[in-house]
Amino acid sequence: MTSRILVAYASKYGSTAEIANKIGGVLREAGLSVNVMPAAQVFDLTQFSAAVLGSAVYDKRWRKEAVTFLEENEASLAKMPVWLFSSGPIGKDDPVTLMNGWRFPAALESCVYRIQPRAITLFHGAINMDKLNFAEKQIVKEFKAPVGDYRDWAVITSWASDIATALKS
């Protein structure tokens, strides 16, 4: 069985952090040892035998700290089981449909190819107008973007359960 699992994330307003914490909780319930932490606070991967990395998505891009983590730790990540997730699309349709087929930042594809993650997924996100700055609120209003929490916790739990099953086998 895998010893310690890292669930690292990059989150601007906390929605992606909540997804990462849910994934970590599901892995713990399965009996795995898990550390959930911001990607910018992970400096040593030697204590981990598997990793889950996720980032909030803005304009089809990952947050800078997630990109930096992925690129700086590529060699270590390539030697362990890795799962990647993005969160961001708002609305009731399938998240990939909402993103017009987008699943992962194109700028990171060569890095991801070398890491060979077990799975890459895209989760719905959440927009809380109270947390947005003035410019972001204007963009949401201008584009008439849906507001609210569209995260599907059953889908997130199922994905995390699949990771736990893979790590325990």
pTM of the model: 0.92
For 34-89, the pLDDT digits (tens) are 999 999 999 999 999 999 999 999 889 999 999 999 999 999 999 999 999 999 88
Q: How far apart are CA 90 and CA 82, in angstroms?
A: 26
Domains of the chain, CATH where assigned: 4-168 (3.40.50.360)
Place of tokens 């070398």: 114
According to the model, what pLDDT value does residue 59 have? 86
**Average pLDDT along the chain:** 93
